[in-house]
């Protein structure tokens, strides 16, 4: 290896240390740090992010990347390092255009906006958050103007989370869903399945945590490379394939919430644990395409976890840990975990009406960035869209526009990835059926590890090195389409609710 390459690797190691600390601070802030300690955490995170940003935009790195991209150096690199050089050079050129003081101000404003959002949500008072949201919109606009001056603004934001999935493609996919699912959901909710109080009895948080580990072990999350902690809103963070951390929130009277969060975050975790370890701590590692990442968490949570056959081998164990389930038949359990109803909160929605929660947010983001709808008009627009898609209107903003964290740190363009993930899942389910045989039968026989291994080999191993459309075309052999998801919904819910 050349001297240049050695220097480059050493430089990367320095960057990685800052990232490691930033990650750890984030994890601690969300799990352990007391309220009064948060401000100092935000300060420290701002400092380390800024240091890392300075390294990632320094002339020294630019010179190395330029030289490594020249044929005599580049051709000597293996595929992985060629990818790393290409990707870092691209990111370098984009980030270089953001003035350092703008970036630092942005990181600080993100932290303040997050705090204001939490306060506004707790008080259900949009006015506390409005000035921060306005600032996030302005700053995101400004930064996107630097990084992607030639792209249409909202498409540039979509690219940030799911490269190549532009709004023309998303419009086509979401329109297909709207056309097919609006009438299906109306038929289902007209059947009015009543609330079942047996699912809302007191459930010891420690027992819920044991259920979480039982599920994580069952689906294939590795303990020696994984950790679990408690937080307000569950998320997963990974330091490398050898250190992946999931979180959960245990509601004392709603154990199903933690059960499905456990499976969801476990799906993210399994993905990160099974990336090619040669990619650890480089831009080739953990997949940064959110639609692809969500496709894995949502595959475990919904396609597998909300399938009756998933529970056949472990339902008795669930009853041992949470005794109320001993009194509930698996059929009743299955019906409850697929209870379709129009509701206010995205994260608590069933997998079917969930689609509308995302379509609504996607349209809101277009209203913000394309139609320039002012911030003060957004709560009313939100409520109108809730009425259009779900026939209900939130009683307050904390049930409405204040419910999600994403806009508070300017992650505009993120929401569509959740639904893209489900769309990919419909396609993956088809492909697994063709290659491994019936998923129902595999699950009923307790052979879920074969499905996990298939996902490891076909998707997880590649980490961040393939773009979303490339992943789907390589694995499924066809273009992205919403048709398999729609077919899955119609078959499954047609059967449960007796609607055609
Ligand atoms: Zn997720």
Query: Is residue 351 annotated as a catalytic residue, yes or no?
Result: no
pTM of the model: 0.95
Query: How many A from CA of 112 to the centre of ligand 1?
Result: 24
- Residue of 191, 208, 339 lying closest to 262 (CA atoms): 208
* Whole-number Cα distances in Å, 127 to 130, 132, 397: 5, 10, 10
Query: How many A from CA of 357 to the centre of ligand 1?
Result: 15
Report the interhelical angle of 38-56 vs 79-96 (nearest 10°): 110
Tokens found for residue 312: 């056949």
Query: How many A from CA of 67 to the centre of ligand 1?
Result: 38
List, as ranges, residues with CB under 5 A of the ion ligand 1.
Answer: 297
Tokens found for residue 342: 């129009």
Query: How many A from CA of 298 to the centre of ligand 1?
Result: 7
Dist. CA 207–CA 202, nearest whole Å? 11
Q: CB within 8 A of 23, min separation 6: which ones? A: 237, 239
**Per-residue tens of pLDDT for the chain, all 500 residues:** 689 999 999 999 999 999 999 999 999 999 999 989 988 998 999 899 889 989 999 999 999 999 999 999 999 999 999 999 999 999 999 989 999 899 889 988 998 999 899 999 999 999 999 999 999 999 999 999 999 999 999 999 999 999 999 999 999 999 999 999 999 999 999 987 888 999 999 999 999 999 999 999 999 999 999 999 999 889 999 999 999 999 999 999 999 999 999 999 999 999 999 999 999 999 999 999 999 999 999 999 999 999 999 999 999 999 999 999 999 999 999 999 999 999 999 988 999 999 999 999 999 999 999 999 999 999 999 999 999 999 999 999 999 999 999 999 999 999 999 999 999 999 999 999 999 999 999 999 999 999 999 999 999 999 999 999 999 999 999 999 999 999 999 999 999 999 87
Dist. CA 407–CA 194, nearest whole Å? 34
Dist. CA 458–CA 273, nearest whole Å? 14
- Residue of 290, 287, 280 lying closest to 240 (CA atoms): 280
* CA of residue 165 relative to chain centroid, distance: 16
Sign of CA dihedral 427, 432, 434, 437: negative
Of the candidates 118, 162, 180, 265, the residue annotated as catalytic is: 265
Query: How many A from CA of 421 to the centre of ligand 1?
Result: 9
- Residue of 473, 437, 475 lying closest to 455 (CA atoms): 475
Percentages (nearest 5) of helix, strand, coil residues in the chain = 70, 5, 25
């Amino acid at each position: 290896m050349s001297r240049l390459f050695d220097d480059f690797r050493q430089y990367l190691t320095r960057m990685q240390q800052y990232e490691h600390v930033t990650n750890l601070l984030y994890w601690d802030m969300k799990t352990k740090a007391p309220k009064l300690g948060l401000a100092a955490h935000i300060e420290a995170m701002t400092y380390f992010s800024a240091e890392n940003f300075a390294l990632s935009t320094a002339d020294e790195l630019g010179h190395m990347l330029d030289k490594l991209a020249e044929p005599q150096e580049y051709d000597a690199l293996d595929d992985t390092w060629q990818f790393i050089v290409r990707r870092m050079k691209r990111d370098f050129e984009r980030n270089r255009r953001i003035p350092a003081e703008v970036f630092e101000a942005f990181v600080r404003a993100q932290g303040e906006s997050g705090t204001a959002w939490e306060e506004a949500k707790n008080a259900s008072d949009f006015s506390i958050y409005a000035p921060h949201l306005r600032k996030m919109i302005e700053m995101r606009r400004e930064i996107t103007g630097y990084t992607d001056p030639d792209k249409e603004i909202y498409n540039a934001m979509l690219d940030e989370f799911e490269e190549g999935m532009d709004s023309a493609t998303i419009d086509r996919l979401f329109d297909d869903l709207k056309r097919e699912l609006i009438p299906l959901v109306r038929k289902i909710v007209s059947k009015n399945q009543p609330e079942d109080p047996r699912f809302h009895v007191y459930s010891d948080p420690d027992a819920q945590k044991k259920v979480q580990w039982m599920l994580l072990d069952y689906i294939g999350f590795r303990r020696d490379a994984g950790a679990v902690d408690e937080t307000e809103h569950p998320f997963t963070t990974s330091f490398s394939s050898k250190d992946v951390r999931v979180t959960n929130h245990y509601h004392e009277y709603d154990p199903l919430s933690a059960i499905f969060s456990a499976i969801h975050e476990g799906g993210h975790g399994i993905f990160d644990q099974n990336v090619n370890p040669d990619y650890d701590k480089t831009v080739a590692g953990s997949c940064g395409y959110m639609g692809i990442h969500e496709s894995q968490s949502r595959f475990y949570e919904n396609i597998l976890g909300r399938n009756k056959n998933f529970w056949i081998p472990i339902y008795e164990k669930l009853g041992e840990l949470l005794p109320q389930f001993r009194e509930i038949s698996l059929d009743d359990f299955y019906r409850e975990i697929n209870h379709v109803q129009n509701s206010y909160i995205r994260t608590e929605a069933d997998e079917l009406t969930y689609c509308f929660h995302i379509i609504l947010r996607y349209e809101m983001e277009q209203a913000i960035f394309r139609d320039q709808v002012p911030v003060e008009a957004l709560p009313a627009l939100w409520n109108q869209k809730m009425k259009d898609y779900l026939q209900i209107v939130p009683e307050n903003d904390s049930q409405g526009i204040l419910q999600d964290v994403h806009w508070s740190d300017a992650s505009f363009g993120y929401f569509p990835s959740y639904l893209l993930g489900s769309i990919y899942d419909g396609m993956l389910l088809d492909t697994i059926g063709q290659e491994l045989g019936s998923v129902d039968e595999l699950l009923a026989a307790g052979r879920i590890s074969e499905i996990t291994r298939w996902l490891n080999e076909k998707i997880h191993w590649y980490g961040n090195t393939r773009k979303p459309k490339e992943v789907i075309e390589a694995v499924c052999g066809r273009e992205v389409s919403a048709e398999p998801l729609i077919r899955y919904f119609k078959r499954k819910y047609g059967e449960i609710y007796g609607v055609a």
